[in-house]
């Protein structure tokens, strides 16, 4: 998992070009859950800043953290004035500051599960909000989805990231909501889906696949062949199911999380 987590720097420019941004509805959802204006936020695993820009545009002072130097360099090309960027992994962040909102966009599954929620609680102000969200992009047409699966099958059985805690896909609460519900530090756990469809060229869809860790980790010749076969199987334009999966939780009104964690 560590190798996959640190693989994105090799495709930072493609990540910025092909990964879709996040809709305004996401900021509205998080703000409504918070119950008032959010002034400060910490982003974990900011990548090239797809989510950073959304929250910064909402007037929030964002501290965007990202362990990969190439991804951070790409983020800094698009940096709003109210964003501070820091090269650091979640596990290395100092616990001497806390924020009204801590969020992670398609990156939480790369963090170390050991002590994850105690460390997270130390970074969220009492009563503050934690948010995790991502876009598991899929072809909307079942027949095309099957065609793309068949094209990659000789080289890659599954291009997704398995549930970090093994939660079955058909259960009502998905990870990380499952872990948040068990955490002593968080309450009022909610799971939401923001419906969204996108239309793009098949080439741009394959460009998006080129930023997915499962493909990045393939041997280059195998990866090229998967993409060639995928393009062959698809029409020129495809519709994508790009719904945003969101988990929200509120930090308990305790004040000793950093001390309890050892910070």
Give 193's pLDDT tier (boundaries 50, 70, 90).
very high
CATH assignment, 2-135+161-197+241-261: 3.40.50.150
Residue 10 predicted with pLDDT over 80 = no
As separate numbers, helices (DSSP H) first and strands (DSSP E) second, the chain gives 12, 10
Listed residue (22, 53, 56, 20) closest to 41, CA to CA = 56
The residue ranges of every structural domain in the chain are 2-135+161-197+241-261
Mean pLDDT of all residues in 167-182: 96
The answer to whether the beta carbons of residues 225 and 153 sit under 8 Å apart is: no
pLDDT on residue 6? 40
pTM of the model: 0.91
Name residues whose C-beta falls within 8 Å of residue 141's C-beta, 6 or more positions apart in sequence.
238, 239
Q: Sheet with 138-139: list strands edge to edge.
A: 138-139, 237-241, 197-201
Question: Cis before residue 176, ω within 30 degrees of 0?
Answer: yes
pLDDT on residue 213? 86
Collapsing DSSP to helix, strand or coil, 238 comes out as strand
pLDDT on residue 1? 41
Mean pLDDT of all residues in 170-188: 97
Residue 259 predicted with pLDDT over 90 = no
Residue 198 predicted with pLDDT over 90 = yes
């Amino acid at each position: 998992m560590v190798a996959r987590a640190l693989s994105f720097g090799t495709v930072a420019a493609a990540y910025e070009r092909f990964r879709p941004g996040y809709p305004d509805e996401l900021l509205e959802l998080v703000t409504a859950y918070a119950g008032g204006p959010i002034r400060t936020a910490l982003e974990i695993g900011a990548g090239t800043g797809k989510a950073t820009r959304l929250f910064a545009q909402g007037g929030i002072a964002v501290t965007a953290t990202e362990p990969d130097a190439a991804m951070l360099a790409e983020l800094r090309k698009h940096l709003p004035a109210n964003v501070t960027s820091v090269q650091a992994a979640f596990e290395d962040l100092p616990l001497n500051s806390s924020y009204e909102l801590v969020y992670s966009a398609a990156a939480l599954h790369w963090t170390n599960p050991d002590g994850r929620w105690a460390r997270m609680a130390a970074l969220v102000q009492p009563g503050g909000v934690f948010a995790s969200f991502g876009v598991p992009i899929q072809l909307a047409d079942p027949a095309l989805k099957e065609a793309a699966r068949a094209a990659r099958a000789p080289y890659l059985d599954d291009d997704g990231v398995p549930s970090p805690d093994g939660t079955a896909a058909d259960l009502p609460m998905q990870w990380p909501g499952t872990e948040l519900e068990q955490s002593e530090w968080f309450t009022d756990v909610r799971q939401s889906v923001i419906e969204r469809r996108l239309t793009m060229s098949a080439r741009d869809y394959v460009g998006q696949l080129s930023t997915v860790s499962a493909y990045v980790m393939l041997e280059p010749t195998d990866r090229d062949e998967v993409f060639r076969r995928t393009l062959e199987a698809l029409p020129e334009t495809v519709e994508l199911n790009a719904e945003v999966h969101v988990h929200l939780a509120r930090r308990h009104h305790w004040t000793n999380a950093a001390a309890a964690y050892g910070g």
